[in-house]
Amino acid sequence: MTSCTPRTAWINLLRRLHFSIGLFAGPFIFVAALTGTLYVASPQLESLIYRQALTAEKTGENHSLAEQIAVAEQVTGQSLALYAVRPSLTPGDTTRVMFSDPKLGESETRALFIDPVTLAVKGDMTVYGTSGILPLRQWIDYAHRSLLLGDVGRLYSELAASWMWLAACGGIALWFFTRPKRRIHNSMQNNRRVHVTLGWILLGGMLLFSATGLTWSQWAGGNVDKLRAVFNWMTPQVNTQLGGQAMVMDPHAEHHGDHDGMQMTPDLVLFDDVLHLAQQAGINAHKVEIRPAKSHDKAWTVTEIDRSWPTQVDAVAIDAMKMQIVDHTRFADFPLMAKLTRWGVDFHMGLLFGLLNQILLIAFGGALCVMIVVGYRLWWIRRPTPARYNPLMTLTQSWCDLSKGGKWMTIVLAVVLGFAMPVLGVSLLLFIAVDVLRWRMASTATSVQSAE
């Protein structure tokens, strides 16, 4: 075709790759940003909608946990296994008694909300995960994660997380090499300045949300777990095995709320004693979760679930028969990478710094949506209608113009990233297949025009 300098070849490749990512992955990133923004903006609305279930009498003496749980079990007819209890430790809050229900999905439980003062049942609904989100936010969360399509739909969010960091870094690199030497005022350059300015402002957030999003993903998430295991970055989990086995390290501890089967029926009287012992051992958060033993050779656990700042996620394992602490994990003792992962996930969910965290994420999500729309506006302004069949406007031709070393470097990099992030790898193959087809069509059209 045509020859060009190595610098020009790399710029052309960056431009075409950035364009391809924006055109094909941009809508997925837009939807992820929009639904994520709705999620972090909804806690106050959730508190208002479910106020009846969440609030209790502020004055009066609390009944024992045993009495509160007994009331909840009367509602379920004792047909469901007791999964966990989140006691009311702040006046005005209800106690949440959670049951495993085979009719519900993964990490979902049926929760009864009990007024600890009056023993009134204030609510009965499905809650999700360690965060304990209620039906409204659960619906938004499913939309954000999978477009309400189940495991198949999760490919969309993994696609967005896999490409967003690469689009961000590529856009910054492209700006560095192609920024105009003087300020030009026209429609295209004005839109480009908005797009670039937002890219710089949002760069850190895009990298963070790509990284934390990939830890949740189906395919890349498994590779992230392997990497964390190799470098001992996994989150310590309290050991519930009575008999003193080694501490468990859980790669998914930051965001799952797994149900490990049906546990034995616990003695309700033990809940108050277990909570008291845990508080004596330093479990002092205002939000805790008590899980009874799943079998006679397992310990009970009491875990702090306050994800705001400062992070309180300490946990103890208790031998309820002997009323002894058998294991204790402290967030202060977590490896640095486990702490960073915990903070990154909680920031991603809008939990870490409370209202400030929400405001930052709402601003980020809105700005990211605007940046994507402006990117499409740029494409529309510069769309190559007259040169529709120009082979120079393809990713394939840009790659062909690289030096031999450059070609091999891009191949190796693509293979490594493709194996690390399989959804990125498969979508890259689709990009290439479509682009090669366009390149062949453009080359054929150019040859015909030259012959004429």
| Nearest residue to 352 (alpha-carbon basis) of 306, 315, 284, 314 | 306
Looking at residue 250, what is its pLDDT? 54
Provide the pLDDT confidence category of residue 449 given band limits of 50, 70 and 90. low
Least confident of 37-41, 62-66, 199-203, 242-246: 242-246
- For Cα atoms 283, 288, 293, give the angle at the middle one, nearest 5 degrees: 90
- pLDDT (mean) for 375-387: 76
pLDDT at 252 over 90: no
| Extents of the domains making up the chain | 6-40+147-221+359-446, 51-133+234-334
- pLDDT (mean) for 232-247: 79
Provide the pLDDT confidence category of residue 263 given band limits of 50, 70 and 90. low
Provide the pLDDT confidence category of residue 383 given band limits of 50, 70 and 90. confident
pLDDT at 132 over 60: yes
- pLDDT (mean) for 278-282: 97
What string of DSSP letters covers 292-318?
--SSTTB-EEEEE-B-SSSPB--EEEE
- pLDDT (mean) for 87-91: 96
Residues 288-315 pLDDT 10s: 999 999 999 999 999 999 999 999 999 9
Find out whether 358 and 40 touch, Cβ atoms under 8 Å: yes
Tell me the C-alpha distance between 128 and 135, whole Å: 8
Provide the pLDDT confidence category of residue 92 given band limits of 50, 70 and 90. very high
Handedness of CA 165, 167, 168, 172 (dihedral sign): positive
Provide the pLDDT confidence category of residue 451 given band limits of 50, 70 and 90. low
Residues 102-130 pLDDT 10s: 999 999 999 999 999 999 999 999 999 88
Tell me the C-alpha distance between 448 and 452, whole Å: 6
Residues 398-418 pLDDT 10s: 898 999 999 999 999 999 999
Average model confidence (pLDDT) across the chain: 90
Looking at residue 229, what is its pLDDT? 87
pLDDT at 181 over 80: no
Residues 138-150 pLDDT 10s: 999 999 999 999 9
Looking at residue 54, what is its pLDDT? 97
Provide the pLDDT confidence category of residue 452 given band limits of 50, 70 and 90. low
Helices 187-216, 154-178: axis angle to 10 degrees equals 140
Least confident of 108-117, 257-266, 362-371: 257-266
Contacts of 323 (CB under 8 A, 6+ apart): 273, 274, 277
Looking at residue 394, what is its pLDDT? 82
pLDDT at 157 over 60: yes
Handedness of CA 230, 235, 241, 246 (dihedral sign): positive
| Nearest residue to 162 (alpha-carbon basis) of 392, 412, 419 | 419
Provide the pLDDT confidence category of residue 83 given band limits of 50, 70 and 90. very high
Least confident of 74-83, 108-117, 231-240, 299-308: 231-240
Q: What is the pTM of this model?
A: 0.89
Looking at residue 375, what is its pLDDT? 94
How many beta carbons lie within 10 A of that of residue 83, not counting itself? 22
Burial classification of residue 104, based on how many CB atoms lie within 10 Å of its CB (0-12 exposed, 13-18 middle, 19 or more buried): middle
Looking at residue 99, what is its pLDDT? 97
Looking at residue 247, what is its pLDDT? 46
Provide the pLDDT confidence category of residue 183 given band limits of 50, 70 and 90. confident
Provide the pLDDT confidence category of residue 200 given band limits of 50, 70 and 90. very high
